[in-house]
């Protein structure tokens, strides 16, 4: 019996992905042991945070880094850092940034909700969001014309949640930011390459510690030294309400040190999802195929298309029945409105793809 079942909670099969609502990632034994040991000892937190910054820098190629409680906290702290800097009187004012250079430019198609809204995370850090362009079309002129003497940063969201077409590229956004000497911040929460955006010239990059990294609930910021020092200073202000504990910082450090040796196991992903698709394609009304992640990451999911006329149930009802069962099975459902569900192989424990296929078969047999 798992720890959560022992608490009287339902067992969960996570086929949705590294989702915060499902606990993000299951960590390795080495990371779990580091977290355990950290909880049973003491440390000067400021020293630990500063040390974590050096580890983050080592693994990202950045000048420095700052651990956070999550990528969302990283957005708020980064925003506060570019507005308040290292000046304590301003840090203690945040998120009240009246009279300061506080405007954060973002493309309209990047104003997304990930369980919380990008807009709110920026506002928590004192930023005034300046949304430019249209939901499916933003041009360079939209961004350049929004720049003023109140602009504190240009913000980019690299995520499957964001609109994937019609946006100004990250390369062009960095070029604009550099041309105008404005800090460029990128939210790369679920990205797998921790060096890419620093190499491209980003001043600040924000990542989740519990997604691609598969560490404990945490996040990290990396970038220019001056800005990272300002980020750490925000723990005397808004960052205090988002503080990350000694155990999660230690787990984050351990996960970062393990990451260079981590393999994608793409072949295993494809093999497991092929087996699932072969099983589901035997069922009338279901069509299953393997699709690569829409943001281009090395993730290969099984995409299940549900034909309600033939299956006897629509995708949304099937999803509800899966989530209501015991174990509760959570599939990726970003396109459920058009009859598509997906299975993400990364968080699945051994043999769980078979459990998913059998449960879908059982549900469809009942409704026919």
- How far apart CA 149 and CA 101 sit, in angstroms, is 7
- Quick one: pLDDT at residue 262? 82
Could you report the per-residue pLDDT of 171-180, keeping only the tens digit for each? 999 999 999 9
In the chain, what are the domains?
3-22+263-367 (3.90.1150.180), 42-261 (3.40.640.10)
Q: Per the structure block, which two tokens stand in for 33?
A: 């042991």
DSSP string for 298-342:
S-EEEEEEE-HHHHSS-HHHHHHHHHHSSSEEEEB-TTGGGTEEE
**Average pLDDT across the chain, whole number:** 94
Enumerate the β-bridge partners of residue 204: 185, 223
Q: Per the structure block, which two tokens stand in for 2?
A: 């798992």
Q: What number of residues does the chain have?
A: 368
Predicted TM-score (pTM) of the model is: 0.86
Q: How many CB atoms lie within 10 A of CB 29?
A: 7
Could you report the per-residue pLDDT of 256-288, keeping only the tens digit for each? 999 998 876 788 999 999 999 999 999 999 999
- How far apart CA 365 and CA 241 sit, in angstroms, is 50
Could you report the per-residue pLDDT of 182-239, keeping only the tens digit for each? 999 999 999 999 999 999 999 999 999 999 999 999 999 999 999 999 999 999 999 9
Decide if pLDDT at 295 tops 70: no
End-to-end CA distance of the chain: 34
Could you report the per-residue pLDDT of 126-139, keeping only the tens digit for each? 999 999 999 899 99
Nearest partner of 190 among 294, 313, 59, judged by Cα: 294
- Coil, helix or strand for 210? coil
- How far apart CA 368 and CA 360 sit, in angstroms, is 13
Averaged pLDDT for residues 309-315: 93
Check residues 4 and 359 and name the one with the higher pLDDT: 359
- Coil, helix or strand for 84? helix
Q: Per the structure block, which two tokens stand in for 134?
A: 């249209």
Window from 33-42, 66-75, 258-267, 338-347 with minimum mean pLDDT: 258-267
The two beta strands, 219-223 and 64-68, are antiparallel
Could you report the per-residue pLDDT of 80-118, keeping only the tens digit for each? 999 999 999 999 999 999 999 999 999 999 998 888 999
Nearest partner of 73 among 229, 170, 212, 207, judged by Cα: 207
- How far apart CA 107 and CA 72 sit, in angstroms, is 18
Helix 352-367, helix 266-280: angle, nearest 10: 20
């Amino acid at each position: 019996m798992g720890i959560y079942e022992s608490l009287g909670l339902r067992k969960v099969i996570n086929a949705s992905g590294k989702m915060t609502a499902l606990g993000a990632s299951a960590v390795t034994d080495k990371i779990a042991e580091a977290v355990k040991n950290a909880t049973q000892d003491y440390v000067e937190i400021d020293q630990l945070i500063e040390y974590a910054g050096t580890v983050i820098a080592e693994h990202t190629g950045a000048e420095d880094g700052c651990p956070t409680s999550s990528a969302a906290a990283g957005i708020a702290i980064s925003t506060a850092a570019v507005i308040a800097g290292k000046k304590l009187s301003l840090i203690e004012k945040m998120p009240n940034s009246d009279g300061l250079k506080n405007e954060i430019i973002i493309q309209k198609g990047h104003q997304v909700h990930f369980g919380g809204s990008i807009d709110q995370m920026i506002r928590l850090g004192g930023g005034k969001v300046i949304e430019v362009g249209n939901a499916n079309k933003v041009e360079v002129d939209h961004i350049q014309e929004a720049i003023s003497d109140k602009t504190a940063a240009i913000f980019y969201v690299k995520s499957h949640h964001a609109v994937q077409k019609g946006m100004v590229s990250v390369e062009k956004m960095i070029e604009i930011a550099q041309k105008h000497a404005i800090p460029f911040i990128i939210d790369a929460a679920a990205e797998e390459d921790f060096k890419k955006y620093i190499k491209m010239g980003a001043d600040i990059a924000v990542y989740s510690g519990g997604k691609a990294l598969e560490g404990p609930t945490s996040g990290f910021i990396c970038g220019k030294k001056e800005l990272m020092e300002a980020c750490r200073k925000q723990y005397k202000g808004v960052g205090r309400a988002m503080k990350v504990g000694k155990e999660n910082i230690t787990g984050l450090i351990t996960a970062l040190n393990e990451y260079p040796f981590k393999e994608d196991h793409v072949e295993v992903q494809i093999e497991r999802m092929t087996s699932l698709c072969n099983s589901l394609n035997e069922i009338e009304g279901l069509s299953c195929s393997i699709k690569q992640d829409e943001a281009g990451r090395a993730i290969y999911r099984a995409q299940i298309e549900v034909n309600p006329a033939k299956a006897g149930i629509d995708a949304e009802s099937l999803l509800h029945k899966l989530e209501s069962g015991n174990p509760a099975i959570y599939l990726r459902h970003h396109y459920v409105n058009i009859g598509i569900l997906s299975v993400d192989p990364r968080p699945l424990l051994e043999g769980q793809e078979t459990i998913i296929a059998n449960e879908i078969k059982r549900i469809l047999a009942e409704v026919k």
